[in-house]
Structure 1
């Protein structure tokens, strides 16, 4: 089984989205987001190639967590690397891999 690694960029993204959700919605909404994210991380640990390949980089895959959130990740022989987590309502051109 591959080890799941979250980059510093992705960690910052998660913190930023969590803060936004708690500030603009509620702690419950933030918690639901973090739970969904954890569930998707667990899924890709067991099935790393289940999500679509990025249109711009065949080494990167995109996982939609929710209609408003997704993340990019890369699979190597030993690792699953979470590259970035983003709010899909933002400019999609900023999130190309």
Structure 2
């Protein structure tokens, strides 16, 4: 049995989440924001328990993706006994922006 891995949030992923929560609070209020946050925590826990359950997005950078909502996708990588949440990407953006985000990463 594999144990739950430690989750590390990159500064960019923290900022992504904060921006999403600010937008939801402004546009939709506390109920929707709380529901989104609960769902995010649930999905991150699933990633921590079984990080290989989601498909690989970039073999070269070892990044996987987890569809969080129709509008947001979590990108993460597994490093030994931890999982690094790299970004939370708004899928309504130009997909080229996603490629650019990961060009400067290790």
Give the match for residue 77 of structure 1: 80
Q: Higher helix proportion, which one?
A: 2
RMSD: 1.1
Matches within 5 A, 1:1-97: 1=3, 2-54=5-57, 57-58=58-59, 59-96=62-99, 97=102
**Larger Rg: 1 or 2?**
2
Q: Which runs of 5+ in 1 are unaligned?
A: none
TM-score (normalizing by structure 1): 0.91
Q: After the TM superposition, list the runs of 4 or more consecutive aligned residues in structure 1 that deviate by more than 3 angstroms.
A: none
Aligned residue pairs, count: 95
CA distance in 2, matches of 1:65, 1:86: 10
